[in-house]
């Protein structure tokens, strides 16, 4: 049975109760290629090498990496030459916490379980980590990188990011290819319904979402007051508040109680109305009447239309559309994870989206494109670039629009948007390209080994600025497209839900301390 699928009894106290069995085994003469294929086929991270039922060695995924690096011939070299011989083991009656300590202390990920010298099972760190009772987790913390970097927290069929390759995909398609070849509506359909639409499906989908762009009457009536009360609050904060009112007014019920078709309908309505809410609030705060959505315009053209009241040039609508498509989804980024955590509690879709908007508002996540353009303005000229950038990095400032948790090479969205910016032209593009090159030079020199390159936000600002989107609306525009990704994740989480409830390592003064009387 694959380890990850093993039903783990969270009340278990002995290894026998949680071990995986039968164990994937092989003899010492089997080739490395055969053993690797066994691991892949049985979806396990190790193979135990046995002789007459006794475990004489273990070969793990980590060993395979080592073997490949050493240039071994996997098709002919026997595992006996590469296995870890005489592996540590635990008795089937050993306690779960002893097994945990043994794994954690030695840094093992798998440990064979033995009874009367015979191999009877295998227990993995993953099995043990699924048991809450192994607290306190002093050693566990060594396994959990700060910021959860690289930690896999769920399975998804929505998409992924491959940071080392500089590649991201929605479903099975490259996100950049989709942005080059398809409309936003097509990609929205793909995110919700798993397939790209046919022409007829596209038309039906557009008909389905067109009326959902309208703001319900009672919410529309409240907007002038909300815009006034909001004062100078950032537009994303205003969206958070107003969207929350919208979801409440439509009585979105806990996702746990909502059938899948109704949840999809709520998700469609959410993604369709967010641009209208954003633009209505923006105009009201600037003393202008909201512009109602245009039924005949695409999502992107309508987005710009509701900003100005005029049909935008097609090249602007397409440029903004390509930006919007490229930011719909991006792995388990902070706001998407937030939406999934909230959904995992069974809460309503509105709560998940409100939480995600909050997470996105931080400058380390969605708040960068305006700041990236501020940085370009502040640098001003190419001559000023090098001293400005050096000073900033030396001071410990972050260059906005650079660096990424996952990409350790060019962000493919940034490369695409550089092309979009070049196509649009404009006075900022050449300066931006020169500053980008200088910034990478400076980061490579002053932050060696960190692999800091341009992220999606750097050229996003240029593209939106050229298309007439005001700077304060950059992050809200990002929220508008990302809402489609959030909703796709809410639907996926709700369809196969389990409460997301991790643990933390307590590092404060040892409890229990006597509670002092008030001094
Ligand atoms: N400028 C200068 N130094 C940087 C930058 C940057 N933009 N990004 C990372 N570093 C440095 C850090 O100072 C740190 O250096 P140190 O090892 O000397 O302390 C090192 O690189 C690693 O930084 P972390 O903070 O550990 O990297 P993390 O993966 O947590 O951060 C993040 C990723 C938040 C995107 C970061 O690169 C950053 O702050 N960038 C600027 C803001 C930005 O552009 N945000 C938009 C991200 S894209 C998006 O969310 C859509």
Other beta carbons within 10 Å of 511: 6
Kindly report the pTM of this predicted structure.
0.76
Is the distance from the beta carbon of residue 361 to the nearest atom of ligand 1 less than 6 Å?
Answer: no
Of 149-153, 269-273, 346-350, the one with minimum mean pLDDT is 149-153
Ligand 1: which residue has its CA nearest to atom 39?
364
| CA 231 – ligand 1 centroid, Å | 31
Residue with tokens 């046995």: 50
pLDDT in tens, 430-447: 999 999 999 999 999 999
What backbone torsions phi and psi does residue 328 show, to the nearest 5 degrees? -60, -40
Question: Which secondary-structure segment (H or E) carries 191?
Answer: helix 184-193
One DSSP character per residue, 35-92 reads: HHHHHHHHT-SEEEEEETTEEEEEEEHHHHHHHHHTT--TTTSBGGGTSEES---EET
Is the distance from the beta carbon of residue 114 to the nearest atom of ligand 1 less than 6 Å?
Answer: no
Judge whether residue 9 has pLDDT over 60.
Answer: no
| CA 272 – ligand 1 centroid, Å | 32
| CA 455 – ligand 1 centroid, Å | 10
Question: Is the Cβ–Cβ distance between 254 and 347 less than 8 Å?
Answer: yes
Alpha-carbon distance 371 to 392, whole Å? Answer: 14
Read off the DSSP letter of residue 31.
B
Judge whether residue 354 has pLDDT over 80.
Answer: yes
Mutate to test the pocket of ligand 1, among 166, 332, 403 (most ligand atoms within 8 A of CB): 403
Is the distance from the beta carbon of residue 485 to the nearest atom of ligand 1 less than 6 Å?
Answer: no
Question: Which secondary-structure segment (H or E) carries 168?
Answer: strand 167-170
One DSSP character per residue, 119-132 reads: EEEEEEHHHHHT-G
pLDDT in tens, 219-276: 999 999 999 999 999 999 999 999 999 999 999 999 999 999 999 999 999 999 999 9
Strands 84-85 and 118-124: unpaired
Proportion of the chain in helix, strand, coil states, percent, rounded to 5 = 55, 10, 35
The pLDDT, as a whole number, for residue 143 is: 62
Judge whether residue 35 has pLDDT over 60.
Answer: yes
Ligand 1: which residue has its CA nearest to atom 25?
405
Is the distance from the beta carbon of residue 389 to the nearest atom of ligand 1 less than 6 Å?
Answer: no
Residue 7's pLDDT band, with cuts at 50, 70 and 90, is very low
Ligand 1: which residue has its CA nearest to atom 22?
450
The pLDDT, as a whole number, for residue 113 is: 92
Is the distance from the beta carbon of residue 403 to the nearest atom of ligand 1 less than 6 Å?
Answer: yes
Mutate to test the pocket of ligand 1, among 398, 461, 480, 482 (most ligand atoms within 8 A of CB): 398
Report in angstroms the alpha-carbon separations of 138 from 100, 141, 458, 498. Answer: 11, 6, 40, 26
- Ligand 1, atom nearest to 401 Cα: 44
- Ligand 1, atom nearest to 330 Cα: 51
| CA 397 – ligand 1 centroid, Å | 10
pLDDT in tens, 471-512: 999 999 999 999 999 999 999 999 999 999 988 888 899 999
pLDDT in tens, 36-68: 889 888 888 889 999 999 999 999 877 887 787
Of 7-11, 33-37, 92-96, 424-428, the one with minimum mean pLDDT is 7-11
| CA 403 – ligand 1 centroid, Å | 5
Q: Which residues are catalytic?
A: 404, 457
Q: How far from chain centre, in Å, is Cα 199? A: 30
Read off the DSSP letter of residue 253.
P
- Spatial CA neighbour of 250 closest among 282, 273, 229: 273
Give the bridge partners for 115, in sequence order.
118
Alpha-carbon distance 98 to 136, whole Å? Answer: 13
Alpha-carbon distance 27 to 472, whole Å? Answer: 65
Question: pLDDT above 70 covers what percent of the chain?
Answer: 93
The pLDDT, as a whole number, for residue 396 is: 95
Is the distance from the beta carbon of residue 336 to the nearest atom of ligand 1 less than 6 Å?
Answer: no
Contacts 24+ apart (CB under 8 A), 151-159: 153/332, 153/337, 153/500, 154/332, 154/340, 154/493, 154/500, 156/332, 156/489, 156/492, 157/194, 157/492, 158/191, 158/329, 158/485, 158/488, 158/489, 158/492, 159/329, 159/330, 159/331
| CA 398 – ligand 1 centroid, Å | 7
The pLDDT, as a whole number, for residue 315 is: 98
Judge whether residue 314 has pLDDT over 80.
Answer: yes
| CA 237 – ligand 1 centroid, Å | 24
The pLDDT, as a whole number, for residue 6 is: 45
Is the distance from the beta carbon of residue 401 to the nearest atom of ligand 1 less than 6 Å?
Answer: yes
Secondary structure (3-state) at 357: helix
- Ligand 1, atom nearest to 333 Cα: 50
| CA 404 – ligand 1 centroid, Å | 6
Tokens representing 257? 């109680």
Report in angstroms the alpha-carbon separations of 468 from 21, 296, 297, 304, 414. Answer: 62, 21, 17, 8, 19
Is the distance from the beta carbon of residue 162 to the nearest atom of ligand 1 less than 6 Å?
Answer: no
Residue with tokens 């490395």: 32
Report in angstroms the alpha-carbon separations of 514 from 508, 509, 519. Answer: 15, 12, 14
Report in angstroms the alpha-carbon separations of 154 from 30, 123, 301, 399, 479. Answer: 34, 21, 35, 31, 23
Ligand 1: which residue has its CA nearest to atom 15?
447
Question: Which secondary-structure segment (H or E) carries 113?
Answer: strand 110-115
Is the distance from the beta carbon of residue 416 to the nearest atom of ligand 1 less than 6 Å?
Answer: no
Strands 25-26 and 84-85: unpaired
Other beta carbons within 10 Å of 126: 15
Ligand 1: which residue has its CA nearest to atom 29?
405
């Amino acid at each position: 049975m694959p380890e990850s699928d093993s039903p783990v009894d969270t009340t278990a106290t002995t290894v026998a109760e949680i071990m995986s069995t039968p164990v994937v085994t092989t003899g010492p003469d089997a080739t490395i290629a055969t053993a690797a294929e066994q691991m892949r086929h049985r979806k396990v991270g190790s193979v135990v090498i046995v002789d007459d039922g006794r475990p004489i060695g273990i070969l793990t995924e980590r060993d395979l990496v080592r073997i490949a690096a050493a240039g071994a011939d996997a098709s002919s070299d026997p595992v006996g030459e590469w296995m870890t011989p005489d592996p540590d083991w635990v008795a089937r009656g050993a306690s779960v916490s002893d097994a945990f300590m043994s794994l954690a202390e030695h840094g093992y990920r798998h440990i064979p379980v033995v009874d009367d010298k015979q191999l009877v099972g295998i227990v993995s760190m993953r099995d043990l980590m699924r048991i809450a009772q192994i607290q306190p987790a002093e050693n566990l913390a060594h396994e959990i990188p700060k910021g959860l970097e690289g930690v896999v927290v769920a399975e998804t069929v929505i998409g992924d990011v491959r940071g080392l390759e500089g590649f991201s995909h929605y479903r099975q398609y490259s996100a950049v290819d989709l942005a080059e070849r398809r409309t936003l509506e097509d990609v929205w359909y793909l995110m919700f319904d798993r397939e790209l639409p046919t022409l007829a499906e596209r038309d039906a989908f557009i008909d389905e979402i067109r009326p959902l762009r309208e703001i319900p009457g009672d919410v529309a009536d409240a907007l002038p007051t909300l815009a006034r009360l909001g004062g100078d609050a950032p537009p994303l904060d205003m969206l958070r508040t107003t969207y929350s009112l919208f979801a409440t007014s439509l009585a979105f019920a806990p996702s746990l109680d909502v059938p899948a078709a109704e949840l999809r309908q709520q998700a469609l309505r959410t993604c369709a109305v967010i641009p209208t809410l954003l633009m209505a609030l923006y105009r009201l705060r600037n003393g202008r009447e909201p512009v109602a959505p245009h039924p005949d315009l695409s999502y992107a053209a309508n987005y710009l239309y509701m900003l100005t009241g005029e049909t935008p040039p097609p090249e602007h609508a397409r440029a903004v559309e390509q930006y919007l498509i490229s930011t719909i989804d991006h792995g388990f980024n902070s706001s998407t994870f937030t939406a999934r955590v909230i959904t995992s509690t069974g809460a309503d879709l509105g709560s998940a989206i409100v939480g995600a908007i909050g997470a996105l508002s931080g400058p380390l996540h969605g708040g960068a494109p305006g700041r990236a353009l501020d940085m370009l303005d502040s640098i001003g000229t190419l001559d000023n670039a090098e001293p400005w950038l050096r000073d900033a990095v030396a001071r410990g400032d972050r260059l906005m629009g650079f660096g990424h948790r996952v990409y350790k090479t060019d962000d493919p969205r940034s490369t695409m948007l550089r092309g979009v910016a070049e196509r649009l032209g404009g006075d900022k593009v050449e300066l931006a390209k020169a500053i980008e090159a200088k910034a990478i030079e400076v980061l490579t020199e002053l932050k060696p080994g960190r692999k800091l390159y341009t992220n999606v936000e750097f050229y996003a600002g240029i593209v939106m600025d050229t298309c007439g989107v005001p700077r304060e609306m950059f992050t809200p525009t990002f929220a508008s497209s990302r809402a489609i990704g959030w909703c796709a994740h809410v639907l996926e989480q709700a369809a196969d839900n389990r409460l997301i409830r991790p643990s933390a390592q307590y590092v404060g003064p040892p409890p229990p301390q006597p509670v002092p009387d008030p001094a």
